[in-house]
Structure 1
Amino acid sequence: MKMTVYLAGEIHTNWRNELKEKVEALQLPLDFVGPMEDHERSDNIGEEILGSQPSSILKDASASSVNNLRTELLMKKSDLIIALFGEKYKQWNTAMDASAAVSLGKPLILIRPQELHHPLKELSRKANVTVESVNQALKVLSYIFD
């Protein structure tokens, strides 16, 4: 049985490719989707579609509408959500995506370093599984197919 996994979380590191390569090496039947990883395109998609906006607030609003639509559709079609909270970047989008997964009733694996235990304690309790590394998330994925 092939499953689709939505990879939510920061887009500035290589964690998605790392996970995908390890899943491929284990030959797990998984497809992956996720947010737009081209930060500039994500920020400009509203103007790309609607044309130049008269203010930065309207530019952000138009881009957010398109990005939210994309995220919602891909999440709804996914079987599982993995949300990674990194140590370096602000994680508002990750928190929003993880909360959306919970609201949609989607199974959720939350990856967060131990240092973020306290600020993410409520969200961790809503996740199906909370781990501290991509490798631990990979072990959960692998166990699903054992």
Structure 2
Amino acid sequence: MTLKIYLSGEIHTDWREQIITGAAGLDVVFDGPVTDHAASDDCGVAIMGAEDKKFWHDNKGANLNAIRTRHGLQNADIVVVRFGDKYKQWNAAFDAGYAAALGKSLIVMHGPEHQHPLKEVDAAALAVVEEPQQVVDILAYVLNGTLPEKGAGL
């Protein structure tokens, strides 16, 4: 059973790479948004032409990115949404809500400082974790029924 995993959320750390590397050998495929910030911001005007107003510049980019995001979320078996320490990640919250509305299995990842602000998002998740390795351990358990080695979380 190959699981399709969509990795959404902050783009300023290597959490995606940690999960992908840790999941080597598991029957999973990964997808996610464009994580090149400049490309993501400017894709609309680069493809469809410049805009005089920043609103329309951003709107074009958001619409193009939504094509990829919607497709990825709709086709995912599991959606992992990471909320980082920097910036307010409204897009991550939107992706989590969209995934929940689609009935997707949702894993939310954030530090303890976001516990209160994200309580509603956490309530929609099937798992809330702090570290990429915990996501890998969840995937291994779901696919193979195996637990992490003793001492890792017990």
Per the shorter chain, which TM-score range?
Answer: over 0.9
Match of 1:23 in 2: 23
How far does residue 142 in structure 1 lie from its aligned partner after superposition? Answer: 0.9
Q: Deviations over 1:34-70 (max 9, x none)?
A: 0101111100111122111121111001111111121
Match of 2:86 in 1: 88
State the AA in 2 paired with 1:32: F
Q: Is the 8 A contact 2:18 2:133 kept in 1?
A: no
Please give the TM-score of this superposition, normalised by the length of structure 2.
0.90
Give the whole-Å Cα distance in 2 for the aligned partners of 1:16 and 1:123.
Answer: 20
Any stretches of 5+ residues in structure 2 without a counterpart?
146-154
% same residue: 38
Q: How many residues align?
A: 144
Match of 1:10 in 2: 10
Give the whole-Å Cα distance in 2 for the aligned partners of 1:80 and 1:60.
Answer: 28
**Paired residue for 1:61, among 56, 59, 62?**
59
Q: Following superposition of structure 1 onto structure 2, how do residues 1-146 of structure 1 map, counting pairs within 5 Å?
A: 1-24=1-24, 27-145=25-143, 146=145
Give the whole-Å Cα distance in 1 for the aligned partners of 2:100 and 2:6.
Answer: 13
How far does residue 90 in structure 1 lie from its aligned partner after superposition? Answer: 2.0
Please give the TM-score of this superposition, normalised by the length of structure 1.
0.95
Report the aligned-residue RMSD. Answer: 0.9
Match of 2:152 in 1: none
Q: Deviations over 1:64-91 (max 9, x none)?
A: 1111121001111111100011122321
Give the whole-Å Cα distance in 2 for the aligned partners of 1:140 and 1:112.
Answer: 16
Query: What SS does the corresponding residue of 1:35 show, helix, strand or coil?
Result: coil
Any stretches of 5+ residues in structure 1 without a counterpart?
none
Q: Deviations over 1:10-56 (max 9, x none)?
A: 011111011100101xx110100001011111001111221111211
Identify which range, 48-57 or 116-125, moves more after superposition: 48-57
How far does residue 132 in structure 1 lie from its aligned partner after superposition? Answer: 1.6
Query: What SS does the corresponding residue of 1:57 show, helix, strand or coil?
Result: helix
State the AA in 1 paired with 2:9: G
State the AA in 2 paired with 1:19: I
Give the whole-Å Cα distance in 2 for the aligned partners of 1:13 and 1:21.
Answer: 14
